[in-house]
Structures are given as structure tokens and as C-alpha cells.
Amino acid sequence: MPKILFIEHNGKEHLVDAEDGKSVMQTAVENMVPGIVGDCGGACSCATCHGYVDPAWQDKIPPKGETEEMMLDGAMNVEPNSRLTCQILMKAELDGLVVRLPASQF
């Protein structure tokens, strides 16, 4: 089972098990990681699952889609490595993925 390391804005770390095929957002919500909201449940319609993917993982995750780009355009505190975590599905190759969380989702 691949693992994801979430790091809250205050530095607190959460290492959680992720199921194959589940999104990073869903994994965070199911493990009650504070800082990921995911209002829309994964429809790429709310931008409340914003996270910063560690640069070491940039090449291993799928690129941003058009809708995700648009949603991030209007989000707060966006950086080059910002992603909507509902758009990244977990798989074995992403074992150890590091995602930092913004100060606030809204």
C-alpha cells in the first residue's frame, strides 16, 4: 500500500496509507488530515483540496488538466507546484509522495 506524507502548514506531519486508485484528496479526508477540505468530493469544482506537491515528485504525477488550471487560477497562495489533490490518483509508483498544505483552503 503506497504511503503519502502530508505536512500541515504548521509543520505537523501525517504519514497515511493510501489505497490504489483513490485520490490524494480522498486519502487525506478519510484519514482526517486537517487542512484538506474537498467540498466537491473530487469533481474539480471547489479548489478546497489545494496542496503543494514536493518538487521531487513533479515528474511522476500527471500534468494539470484545463479545469484544474482554471480552478487554481482563482485559488489563494498558488505556487508553481500547486495542485488540486483530487486530481492525483494514487498508485504504487507514488509511494512516499510528499504533499505540503496551505495555511488555509478558503
Q: Which residues make up the interface to another protein (CB under 8 A)?
A: 29, 32, 34, 37-43, 45-48, 67, 70-71, 73-76, 104, 106
Nearest to another protein of 45, 58 (CB atom): 45
Nearest to another protein of 53, 86 (CB atom): 86
Q: Residue 101 corresponds to which cell in the numbers above?
A: 498544505
Q: In the bound complex, what is the minimum distance in angstroms from residue 90's beta carbon to another protein? A: 19
Give the 3-state secondary structure of residue 16.
strand
Q: In the bound complex, what is the minimum distance in angstroms from residue 17's beta carbon to another protein? A: 18
Nearest to another protein of 14, 94 (CB atom): 14
Whole-Å CA distances, 48 to 1, 8, 91, 104 = 26, 14, 22, 9
Q: In the bound complex, what is the minimum distance in angstroms from residue 53's beta carbon to another protein? A: 20
> Residues 36, 49: contact at Cβ < 8 Å?
yes
